[in-house]
Amino acid sequence: MKHIVTLLLATSFALGVGAQKAPDLGKTPQMGWSTWNKFQGNINEQIITGIADEIVNSGLRDVGYTYINIDDCWHGKRDQDGFIQPDATKFPHGMKWLADYLHQRGLKLGVYSDCGTETCGGMPGSLGHEYQDALQYARWGIDYLKEDWCNTVNINPKGAYQLMSGALHASGREIFLSMCEWGDNLPWRWAENIGHSWRIGPDIWCSFDSTRVFPTYSQYSVMDCIHKNDTLRRYAGPGHWNDPDMLEVGNGMSNNEDRAHFTMWCMMASPLILGNDLRSMSKETREILLNKELIAVDQDTLGVQGLHFCTEQGLDFWFKPLANGDWAFTILNPTKKDVEYAINWQRFNLYDDEVSKRSTTFDKQVYGIRDLWTHKMAGQTSTKNKVERKVKVRAHDVVCYRLIKS
């Protein structure tokens, strides 16, 4: 048996050398749900099937949330031939059964591993087993791999992720590769042809604007993620996305903060990976996550990450060009007080020379204004140099419009 395994892996390696990531995946940012933010390592088969059923029943699947990703601590031990096995207590039916359960419901299954000797939670890592693990994932019917970066002393990050990317290609199954390198080695500069997305910084935690610092690592707030991603928009596009981490919507922030968090992830063309317990979410959380008009901004096929145009009166003004000539426009209030702002559209004539090469041309073009949170039309822009409207932006909240080209 070991000789057969060795032959299979040698053949896979030969096929995988120089191979690229699955080219047809990630044309728009990935959408789904992950275990980590809510459950961390306290996971089991019943949680996954329960979440899967809720994604279908709630309508989340139908608006695009299709990946269900099992993060760290699903692992058991490797068998005598080196193939990773799931924890039989947590997943008694095995991963193939679970993948089939999801596929029958129009969903996809993701798992987690690590480039190092062990995962962040102390489970077996993929180092030295990349082609075996990829082959096992393909046998199970896995659709998505999050590859972390713990326990990787003296390992070259580009080489490590390139190796796993080639292994996934050689497995014969198209598997989305989500690189979780934390931005330490600037993956946006070298990972475009290796993975479909890459983390830009530390893990997020459930806070709007407070960084959490520990002796050996830190956790980003929502605003930390936005500030970091603001500098990286030129690296994102169809098939290769900046990933500021999973969503914390529904995990304890205020409704205003949840709304701002979700809006900004859509403006930044970020992956929309939910992290709350969908089985017990509130009506307000459900409405945020099912906002089809904002999801359309995130999933827009032009694939351009939004730009932070300016800051005035403590408010951040963001624009995102869309495929049909429209623009998404967001006023983000990161302050702790409500702010009233008088909009003169002529202040926002911009040319996106960095990425899209598009211009708003408010001095010539009139746009219809659609509020993406009230889902109502709200007049139109003006070509005149005057205050056209006044808006109140609540503390830690947003005003978000789709500017519809006439």
Task: Report the CATH number at residue 367.
Answer: 2.60.40.1180
Residues 326 and 272 in one domain: no
DSSP 325-355: S-EEEEEEE-SSS-EEEEE-GGGG--B-TTT
Residues 155 and 50 in one domain: yes
Q: Which one from 143, 148, 224, 298 is the annotated catalytic residue?
A: 148
Distance CA 331, CA 342 (A): 12
Cα 280 → chain centroid = 22
Do 188 and 280 belong together in one domain?
Answer: yes
Q: Which of 251, 280, 298 is the last residue of a domain?
A: 298
- Residue 252 and residue 313 in one domain: no
From the list 53, 87, 203, 371, the catalytic residue is: 203
Identify the DSSP state of 196: S
Based on the domain organization, do 127 and 35 belong to the same domain? yes
Q: Same structural domain for residues 282 and 329?
A: no
Output the pLDDT for position 356: 98
**Pair 26, 85 in one domain:** yes
Q: Are residues 222 and 137 in the same domain?
A: yes
Q: Which helix (H) or strand (E) holds 241?
A: strand 241-243
Q: What are phi and psi of 351, to 5 degrees?
A: -125, 120
Instruction: Quote the number of domains for the chain.
Output: 2
Same domain, yes or no: 358 and 390:
yes
178 sits in which H/E element: strand 176-179
For residue 85 the two structure tokens come to 């096995």
How far, in Å, CA of 240 to CA of 235, rounded? 8
Catalytic site includes residue 203? yes
Strands (E), 115-175: 144-148
Do 277 and 259 form a contact (C-beta atoms < 8 A)?
no
Shared-domain flag, residues 217 and 352? no
- Residue pair 144/108 in contact (Cβ under 8 Å)? The answer is yes
- Domain span at residue 93 reads 2-298
Residues 27 and 114 in one domain: yes
3-class DSSP state of 401: strand
The DSSP letter of residue 278 is G
Q: What is d(CA 156, CA 187) in angstroms, rounded to the nearest whole number? A: 12
Give the model's pLDDT for residue 3: 38
For residue 7, give the H/E element and its range: helix 2-16
| CA atoms within a 13 Å half-sphere pointing along the CA-CB vector of 318 | 31
> Which H or E element spans position 267?
helix 255-267
Q: Three-state SS for 185? A: coil
Measure the CA–CA gap between 204 and 195, rounded to whole angstroms.
21
Catalytic (active site) residue 371: no
For residue 26, the domain's CATH number is 3.20.20.70
Question: What is this structure's pTM?
Answer: 0.95
User: Given 237, 267, 298, which residue is the final one in a domain?
Assistant: 298
| Together in a domain, 312 and 294 | no
Where the chain has pLDDT below 70, the residues are 1-19
The predicted pLDDT at position 199 comes to 98
Task: Provide the 10 A C-beta neighbour count for residue 18.
Answer: 8
Q: Judge whether 198 and 188 are in contact, CB under 8 Å.
A: yes
Domain boundary among 265, 298, 331: 298
